[in-house]
Chain A
Amino acid sequence: MGLRKFLIIIAVTLIIALILAVWFFPSNDDFRVDNPFWNGLDKVQTKYDIKTLDSLSDLTPSPYGTTLLVIPYLSFTSTELWQLNRFVSRGGRLIIADDYGYGNQILTYMGLQVRFSGEVLLDPLVNYVNKNFPKIHQFRPDPLTANTDNLVLNHATSLNNITADMALALSSPFSFLDYNGNGAREAEEPAGPLPVISRHKLNQGQVILVSDPSLLINSMNTIEDNDTFINNIANTSSSFYIDQSHLAFSELYHTRSWLQQARRLLSTPAGTAVLVLAVIILALIPIWLNKGENDIDT
């Protein structure tokens, strides 16, 4: 076997192996429902039969009783903001679980005063393992917080511009926002209790803000009463959707999307025709090359 043949076979084998790996290897992207690892939402999605949305255009036009969970790690277009606003206005319940993303873009569009502070919430005393995992145990009685004694957040933030009746959960008095990132509380840094979950009525619907989406991930939802909180959300929803179109995506996800598009394309008549043509050409190339060599020799 010549070196040329060897390289081609190795390259083709490698490409096929990579395609298979990309296709079958589970996602490891943050907050993806098909991610079974510690940072995915696989468990929550399976347990509560959460339906995924790959586009906000797929939102139900009659959203009464429907809950939509958005983790806004990518910015929204004006059309998407309009779709979210319409969803809430018609009676849907929008849960924005955000820490350092684009949640404030939605809140600004909807005309709500409340904001995600975007600063790191630390709790040196009332925490799980360390101060990056603030433990929340102050709750206002509500169907969403029923049977919930403790929630554990993971690199969370807090909510600003909130009145007492809006807050459903508060951090401990020892928590604070670490403006300068030195891990210690300075005099100018706001101290707890700070709101971390809130509810806001908007027309016929409502907006729930959760200042940390990480309490949903596979490794967090079994800690303390995080699962109870999610259970309460599911139990008070006739349908539970999660938006996956505003999550940051890895190259694995990107490549898999390309492969899926290619598969869809190949299932069309034109795609099938192109595929067949390509197979024929590939099969005939060696013959054509051989003929060419013969001609040259002649």
Chain B
Amino acid sequence: MKKLIITLSIIAMLGVIYPGLPISAQPVRVPHENPENATGLPDKVGLLLSYIRVINLAGNSRQQDARDLLNELKHADVPDDVQLIINQYNEVWQSLFSTLGNLEALLDEASGLLANNQIYELRQKFNSADNDIKKVYTLLNSIDTATNSLCNKLGVFSASATSQLNQAHKSLEESQVRLDDLVNMLEGLHQKLSEQYIQKEQLISTEVSLSIDPESAYVGDIVTASGKLIGDGSSLIGKTVSLTADNYTLATAITKLNGLYTAAIELPYKYDENMTVNAVYSPASNDVDSYLACISPPVAVTTEYYQTVLEASVPLKIYRGLPFTVSGEVTSDNDNIPRSAKVLLDNTLLTTETISGRFSFEIMPPDEFLPGQGKLAIDVSPQGRYAGASAHSSISVSLLPINIDTRIPSVILTPGDIEISGIIYSELGPVMDAEVNLKLDDASVAATSRSDGGFQGTIKSCLLPDDAPPTTNPFYVSSTPTDSTYDFSPIGIREITITADTPQSPGFILEVKRQIITINPLSLGLILAILAALWLFVRRRSRTLTHAEAAMTPAENTVLPKDIPMPVKIPGLTGIGGQVLSTYRSVLAVVEKFSGVIMSPDTTLREFLTTASLPSPIAAAHFAELTDITENALYSARSPKKDTAARAEKLAFNINEELGYGTP
């Protein structure tokens, strides 16, 4: 008993301790926490520090970055009342950064124009800069007020404010001071440029004229630009005049006698009907100290070209491994000259075709495209006077959906053959030549779909594994190792996997799984037989025990002499001897039970008396006397006395009482 308790205790202890051991193998850091249980407070310090980052960016003339960072604060996770103040605060900052950015751009531009003596636009820019500087100062005052409001809301001025929060507030104020320095620097730059402007106004002003002939021409044609450059009323000779359109220099010319210049301009292939050309004079080398720059009034040139109209039709969905058709019509003023067309999918060139008028061609989708939405573009390239054209369409790249309908019995008896059939089809119809694989556990069977998409296969289910050697397996028969399986379980649920590799959907293997119920009558019968045998055995044993216990009926529950087992009639032994022997036999069963010794047929009564050990000495003495009386009845030459039978019954009663309940 002790051993059992100790063993159970050790098992219980191991059960408690062992599950905790794997914790040491888990990741050191927490991979996640339950968001439903997570709590948090707004990070006030982080909020103030983020404004310092914003101001620092602005202080480094990165106004746009500062504005972007401010926009990010819209996403901050703060209470609504704080968010309201933040939004108002940010608006002021945004306005400041916008104005500062504009001011910096104006001053940069003014600086560039001054360097080229182009003062004709400067006055307006300086006026704008003046206005911006005034606005900046106003905004800085507003920011001071808004900062106090925000800090008050965040509790910076309350007694409970942490040292970190106070430190952050102090840093914010210092950053704002640095921003004032930036504004002062910009104001100084503005002042310096204004002084330079005043100096430049002392230089000789210039003027340039421009005319273009013809005023209308096809793209690629040559037009003639001409004009005159004068400075302070005098012709300027040997100066370079640039002819520009949209900040692109088309040609340059050198002024000659009387300041006249002429230049041939090839109209660019821009296929834009209206083009504006300017003549620009920018002083160079020594002229920088003498002349101001100038620009002519714009001259409009009408460019002509042939319109190209492209109408294209493409499928909304294409499938990998299957070609698709692009069709349509390309026309150019009723002229069908051959044109080069490129087809692109998400800017990747699929093909280049030469098309004319109505067209239609097939394209194979490239393998590298993953399923999803894409943009298909058809670009007809410009060609001389013919403008280009393009058509765009959203297209879905996917695999051709393949379906399998299977016919598999839901209940299978094993061992036996499992017939599997089905049909493979797509939205385009039956799929033929698909490589089908039928798999159950380690067994697999290959099949190929027919022209109607149908396929069929048989998986053999064996009694025992195929690799069981014949010497140990009396049921062994030769079978194909790849198409058979076994399962000895009486009833089970198993899974059949069917895969199909189709030529219409290369690279994609369709897989379906079906569950079947298997019943093995042999193992089921075997197990039932074993259980039945066990049941019979247990039942028989329990009956034997019941009889033995019935023979041990407690004496106090019986009434003498009726309850003493009735003497059994022994052939050849009647009268008093028979009664004595019957009494002995009735006591014998009780003695066998208590002594644990069964009287064998070859044992004499005396031998049994010496072998059977009874727990009660009184009962043992009574049994010894009874044995003696019975021996006399059996073997004595004289007939037993009349009271012998009564004495035997009295002894039997005493023995039963002694062994059953002891002496009252």
| Residue interface bits B15-58, CB-to-A below 8 A is 1, else 0 | 00011001001111111111110111101011101100100000
A-B contact count (CB 8 A): 180
Of B70-78, B207-215, B224-232, B258-266, the segment with at least 4 beta carbons within 8 Å of chain A is B70-78
A-binding residues in B (CB < 8 A): 1, 4-5, 8, 18-19, 22, 25-36, 38-41, 43, 45-47, 49-50, 53, 68-69, 72-73, 75-78, 320, 367-368, 370-373, 398-399, 463-465, 486-489, 492, 501, 506-509, 511, 523, 526-527, 530, 534, 537-538, 541, 596-597
Query: Which residues of chain A in 105-137 are interfacial with respect to chain B, using CB atoms and an 8 Å cutoff?
Result: 120, 124-133, 135, 137
Closest to B464 in A: A269
Contact present for B22 and A126 (CB under 8 Å): no
A101 touching B27 in the complex, CB below 8 Å, given contacts A124-B46, A125-B46, A298-B597: yes
Contact present for A267 and B487 (CB under 8 Å): yes
A128 touching B492 in the complex, CB below 8 Å, given contacts A135-B75, A143-B372, A298-B597: no
Interface check A195, CB cutoff 8 A:
no
A133 touching B76 in the complex, CB below 8 Å, given contacts A7-B5, A238-B508: no
Contact present for A126 and B38 (CB under 8 Å): no
How far apart sit A219 and B38, CA to CA, in the bound complex (Å)?
12
Interface check A53, CB cutoff 8 A:
no
A38 touching B36 in the complex, CB below 8 Å, given contacts A131-B43, A248-B27: yes
Contact present for B371 and A91 (CB under 8 Å): no
Contact present for B34 and A219 (CB under 8 Å): yes
A60 touching B538 in the complex, CB below 8 Å, given contacts A38-B36, A126-B77: no
How far apart sit A49 and B527, CA to CA, in the bound complex (Å)?
39
* 3 interchain residue pairs of minimum CB distance: A130-B40, A64-B507, A124-B46
Interface check A155, CB cutoff 8 A:
yes
Contact present for B488 and A269 (CB under 8 Å): yes
How far apart sit A99 and B28, CA to CA, in the bound complex (Å)?
11
Contact present for A272 and B488 (CB under 8 Å): yes
Contact present for B35 and A220 (CB under 8 Å): yes
Q: How large is the interface on A (under 10, 10 to 19, 20 to 34, 35 or more residues)?
A: 35 or more
CB neighbours of B30 from chain A (8 A): 155
- Of the candidates B34, B486, B541, the one whose C-beta lies within 8 Å of that of A38 is B34
Given contact pairs A91-B367, A125-B47, A129-B38, a sample of 11 additional A-B residue pairs in the complex whose CB atoms are under 8 Å apart: A11-B8, A62-B506, A62-B507, A62-B509, A64-B399, A65-B507, A130-B40, A133-B35, A271-B488, A272-B527, A283-B534
Closest to A102 in B: B27
Interface check A179, CB cutoff 8 A:
no
Contact present for B371 and A236 (CB under 8 Å): yes
Chain B nearest Cβ from A179, distance in angstroms: 13
Chain B nearest Cβ from A123, distance in angstroms: 9
Contact present for B31 and A213 (CB under 8 Å): yes
Contact present for B36 and A219 (CB under 8 Å): yes
CB neighbours of B523 from chain A (8 A): 272
CB neighbours of A90 from chain B (8 A): 507
- Of the candidates A93, A126, A238, the one whose C-beta lies within 8 Å of that of B72 is A126
Interface check A73, CB cutoff 8 A:
yes
Interface check A227, CB cutoff 8 A:
no
Interface check A17, CB cutoff 8 A:
no
How far apart sit A184 and B464, CA to CA, in the bound complex (Å)?
67
Contact present for B77 and A250 (CB under 8 Å): no
Contact present for B501 and A62 (CB under 8 Å): yes
How far apart sit A93 and B372, CA to CA, in the bound complex (Å)?
13
A287 touching B541 in the complex, CB below 8 Å, given contacts A62-B509, A155-B29: yes
Task: Show 11 residue pairs from A and B whose CB-CB distance is below 8 angstroms, ordered by the A residue.
Answer: A38-B34, A62-B501, A65-B320, A65-B508, A66-B508, A100-B29, A132-B38, A154-B35, A174-B72, A249-B22, A250-B19
How far apart sit A294 and B5, CA to CA, in the bound complex (Å)?
25
Query: Which residues of chain A in 271-298 are interfacial with respect to chain B, using CB atoms and an 8 Å cutoff?
Result: 271-272, 276, 279-280, 283, 287, 294, 297-298
Interface check A237, CB cutoff 8 A:
yes
| Residue interface bits A14-37, CB-to-B below 8 A is 1, else 0 | 000000000000000010000000
Interface check A162, CB cutoff 8 A:
no
Contact present for A174 and B32 (CB under 8 Å): no
A267 touching B488 in the complex, CB below 8 Å, given contacts A236-B370, A248-B26, A248-B27: yes
Contact present for B370 and A127 (CB under 8 Å): no
Chain B nearest Cβ from A216, distance in angstroms: 10
Interface check A217, CB cutoff 8 A:
yes
Contact present for A39 and B34 (CB under 8 Å): yes
CB neighbours of B35 from chain A (8 A): 128-129, 133, 152, 154, 219-220, 223
Contact present for A129 and B39 (CB under 8 Å): yes
How far apart sit A7 and B509, CA to CA, in the bound complex (Å)?
56
How far apart sit A91 and B369, CA to CA, in the bound complex (Å)?
9
How far apart sit A254 and B76, CA to CA, in the bound complex (Å)?
43
A4 touching B4 in the complex, CB below 8 Å, given contacts A213-B31, A280-B530, A298-B596: yes
Chain A nearest Cβ from B48, distance in angstroms: 11
- Of the candidates B27, B368, B463, B537, the one whose C-beta lies within 8 Å of that of A73 is B27
Interface check A164, CB cutoff 8 A:
no
CB neighbours of A254 from chain B (8 A): 22
Question: Which one of A3, A4, A124, A131 has the greatest number of beta carbons of chain B within 10 Å?
Answer: A124
How far apart sit A204 and B25, CA to CA, in the bound complex (Å)?
36
Chain A nearest Cβ from B231, distance in angstroms: 50
Chain B nearest Cβ from A199, distance in angstroms: 11
Chain A nearest Cβ from B467, distance in angstroms: 12
Interface check A165, CB cutoff 8 A:
no
Closest to B541 in A: A287
Closest to A269 in B: B488
Closest to A286 in B: B541
Contact present for B33 and A155 (CB under 8 Å): yes
